[in-house]
Structure 1
């Protein structure tokens, strides 16, 4: 993951969900049609949706070949007992031979690193492992191993030796841009997953990808599509919330940038699953998202993910109930010693910040009480979706209509959410699933809140101000009545209706008088 570390054919089966995984049935009440027929639009929403027994889990990454060796088999707290061991990559002299960081074959790691014994000790203590393939610096197996059958065998040899139920594919750099390798990887993983499930064994597959606050890159979304198109049942997409560089807005904390990255990924996964013919509810999509921040000093000099960032990020992740949380890396989860001078230079074995007695593993792992094995048997299926209508009586803004034109800044309601136009638009669905924000003219502001109603402007008696007339030229400061509501001109205008002020308060030339001022005018008129 970090540039400073040694980071990492069968027919598709229709996605399904095992009944043993069911825990909760959520009932979402459908809004009835208005007697007047005054509704516009509808929203697809889960009605009596069966939800998997989803328990978010935490496991920190461990760089197996980094020095000094990290004793993952002796976790200091419960939050650190489950680990993601990284990275299995292709051998230098045999692209189909799995190795740990090119330095050790699986057998060599058993002797030189005493890895098998340490894993047995972790198992005695109740810990679970996930194995990560790929990383930043070396070739992931599919990059050079061009025979799919050999590739399946390579993956299977790792899964069998370490008896794992969850694998992590960390696809970065050249491994990510090599789309031919992506197709081989997807085909091989699908074959392996089908074989395992046919034999009654679980195999959860997580795809770990780089991310920006705006979401996955084009290569990242392609990697997800390749997996889905090949029939792989992805447990989820784990995004590396780190090293944002110029993609992070000046002034945004690392926590805020990371939250934006999760929100953007959530939108993108909705589009990708929809295109694959699998409709998932927003809640189901959150369970398919994982997050891995780089703790402390990131590779980008100006980026530091601090303890406060960890607490804020953890709170957001728990609120959304994402599928998993990780960190890079457990090797680094401690303050640097006094002999480590240049804290801006990323270390394999310390975070580069003063942590005191606090550990990131405890802050980020707080509330993630599930275990990797507990969710490994979950199988994806499309949610049951029902129709629901938007109700103008409970909508703070007008409901979107395909034939209407909307100016920049206009707010509307669609599918029980409030959207704002980024530019002039007509006929473009506010919730059209898009991979990139620039593909839609709408920005999602948030949901319609319980109890909301259309805002009613205070009115004044007829004759208090002239009635608005379209052909009239108005100067800044002129006041008019429009349906009894008093407005004041913000600048010179002609033919601009005050009606636009309710949905486009910034761009319209008219602003309604404040409620307090209207009240004062009414008091004066009564005297």
Structure 2
């Protein structure tokens, strides 16, 4: 720094020279341009950052289906990103990737113009994910037993199509093959690691079958294999379709919602087992759903427009990370020449869609882009538990020392649970892989404005007040502080107050709200 009033000696290229007005104006313009560039650059980065956190939509396109689907010229933004399917093992060479075991990568370029169509899609601002596997053929890791050749096969597809995101659709025999699953996990881990070491990114999605009760053990094992191998999973996408008898009379939308809730519970347990702590919302952001639009492969299952609207609303509410559909090829009403609508078509949905498109409905609220999620790295989070407040809890707050009978409702960490059977000491929100492992059913969250729990009461005189000196037989009813109880067996001196903390040992059971209502109704009718 220079003291006031002193003269400095100029040095350098222009030392000692005075700046002309033209030079001053030019410098000012340059400063403005740099500042504007920095401002725009910051906001472009900020915008990309914001979009990267946004849920995204991409419909599957069956590359080998006839007639071919023009994915390269999407009719709307709902079709700008696609999941091209399926790359599988070739029958001629199990370690050679092919499109549907019908075209080699080179053949697909020459005969389907696939490379050129992908380039055109990207020219228009769209992008593509490639899906490996599917139901009909062998996923590469199932057929290729050579780890080095398997890694080379995956790498050749990623490099050829310049992919930032891949989808592994594992089902059928490929899913039940544990050895193939291990090869797959190790190869994908190595591929993802090499891409990141080279300064790139590769998002990996695992697509798995699901039932309304959740994923099978084979599916959860496949996820566990990926996590153990060090794969940074972008997410798990469940195929909300073809439920069969497990749908049990529910609508397709409700079956899908149940399946997603169950998957969320299972993922929480799988990440916990991998020593990765994730919040509920982060787990939702690492999940995707793929319904089969219109007529499903199961004859009586039809995923209609109303189902799509309900599933879309649920997905937006939960901030699901991904939404897809099978398939964009089928997202149209069948023409008059297609007579048997119960027979699944590759080119139409089998229902009258009117002016609606499934892609338009299911993409609502999913404005992000798949490639922007590729750099995401899964790390443990500090998850703050919710502290329940008795003043706003509609049911008693769960206590480790209390026993609960079947049907008892409690509050725990901001949610209401119902006991499926007698239980004591079992955490209601303990993550489990299978629904049958927990005695609790999650009903839903505590709602704003709910009033604190108050046991049902009856007017004084409805039944005698309990007395410690009176003998009671089975079926006798009493009032204890206004709350009605019924005797389960002969007793004397046993206070009904202990019924909630020891329901098995207490001879008293509190009347339910329905029973109290029936008593009041009977009293009104008699009066």
Pair in the same fold by TM > 0.5: yes
Partner residue, 2:235 = 236
Partner residue, 2:142 = 143
Partner residue, 1:326 = 324
Aligned residues: CA RMSD: 3.0
Partners of 1:498 and 1:510 within 8 A in 2: no
* Deviations, residues 24-73 of structure 1 (Å, cap 9, x unaligned): 9xxxxxxxxxxxxxxxxxxxxxxxxxx99520100000000011111111
Higher relative contact order (CA 8 A, sep 6+): 1
* Inter-partner Cα distance in structure 1 for 2:193 and 2:255: 37
Instruction: State yes or no: 1:409 paired with 2:407.
Output: yes
| Residue aligned with 2:291, SS | coil
Instruction: State yes or no: 1:343 paired with 2:344.
Output: no
Q: How does 1:206-355 map to 2 (within 5 A)?
A: 206-250=205-249, 252-355=250-353
| Residue aligned with 2:223, SS | helix
Displacement of 1:391 after TM fit?
Answer: 3.4
* Deviations, residues 264-284 of structure 1 (Å, cap 9, x unaligned): 000000000000000110000
Instruction: State yes or no: 1:487 paired with 2:472.
Output: no
| Residue aligned with 1:396, SS | coil
* Inter-partner Cα distance in structure 2 for 1:397 and 1:503: 17
Partner residue, 1:29 = none
Partner residue, 2:125 = 126
Partners of 1:60 and 1:326 within 8 A in 2: yes
| Residue aligned with 1:260, SS | helix
Instruction: State yes or no: 1:399 paired with 2:400.
Output: no
| Residue aligned with 2:130, SS | strand
* Inter-partner Cα distance in structure 2 for 1:23 and 1:405: 52
* Inter-partner Cα distance in structure 2 for 1:96 and 1:219: 23
* Deviations, residues 455-475 of structure 1 (Å, cap 9, x unaligned): 335867876742124764467
| Residue aligned with 1:216, SS | coil
* Inter-partner Cα distance in structure 1 for 2:255 and 2:438: 21
* Inter-partner Cα distance in structure 2 for 1:21 and 1:515: 65
| Residue aligned with 1:455, SS | coil
Partner residue, 1:67 = 66
* Deviations, residues 442-498 of structure 1 (Å, cap 9, x unaligned): 11122233444533358678767421247644676x763211x15375x97655976
Q: Which moved more, 1:120-129 or 1:239-248?
A: 120-129
Partners of 1:196 and 1:203 within 8 A in 2: yes
Partner residue, 2:417 = 419
Displacement of 1:393 after TM fit?
Answer: 3.5
Displacement of 1:322 after TM fit?
Answer: 0.5
Q: How does 1:326-475 map to 2 (within 5 A)?
A: 326-386=324-384, 389-456=387-454, 465-469=463-467, 472-473=471-472
Partners of 1:238 and 1:290 within 8 A in 2: yes
Q: Which moved more, 1:376-385 or 1:345-354?
A: 376-385
* Inter-partner Cα distance in structure 2 for 1:235 and 1:420: 33
Partners of 1:501 and 1:510 within 8 A in 2: no
Partner residue, 1:6 = none
Partners of 2:401 and 2:501 within 8 A in 1: no
Partner residue, 1:108 = 107
Q: Which has the larger radius of gyration?
A: 2
Partners of 1:58 and 1:82 within 8 A in 2: yes
Change (3 A) 1:460 1:326: closer
Partner residue, 1:80 = 79
Partner residue, 2:11 = none
Displacement of 1:412 after TM fit?
Answer: 1.9
* Deviations, residues 227-269 of structure 1 (Å, cap 9, x unaligned): 000000000000000000011121x110000010100000000
Partners of 1:22 and 1:52 within 8 A in 2: no
| Residue aligned with 1:385, SS | coil
* Inter-partner Cα distance in structure 1 for 2:156 and 2:319: 33
Partner residue, 1:45 = none
Partner residue, 2:167 = 168
* Inter-partner Cα distance in structure 1 for 2:309 and 2:410: 34
* Inter-partner Cα distance in structure 1 for 2:379 and 2:357: 37
Change (3 A) 1:67 1:501: same
Displacement of 1:22 after TM fit?
Answer: 11
* Deviations, residues 397-455 of structure 1 (Å, cap 9, x unaligned): 33222222211111222223222111111222111110111001111122233444533
Change (3 A) 1:367 1:475: same
Instruction: State yes or no: 1:510 paired with 2:507.
Output: no
* Deviations, residues 101-135 of structure 1 (Å, cap 9, x unaligned): 11111111110001111111111111110000000
* Inter-partner Cα distance in structure 2 for 1:511 and 1:435: 32
Partners of 1:241 and 1:293 within 8 A in 2: yes
Partners of 2:58 and 2:81 within 8 A in 1: yes
Partners of 1:176 and 1:219 within 8 A in 2: yes
* Deviations, residues 151-197 of structure 1 (Å, cap 9, x unaligned): 11111111111111000000010110001000000000000001111
* Inter-partner Cα distance in structure 1 for 2:191 and 2:244: 37
TM-score, structure 2 normalization: 0.83
Displacement of 1:394 after TM fit?
Answer: 3.4
What is the count of residue pairs matched by the alignment?
471
* Inter-partner Cα distance in structure 1 for 2:424 and 2:418: 13
Partner residue, 2:201 = 202
* Inter-partner Cα distance in structure 1 for 2:456 and 2:143: 70
Q: Which moved more, 1:87-96 or 1:453-462?
A: 453-462
Partners of 2:398 and 2:411 within 8 A in 1: yes
Partner residue, 1:37 = none
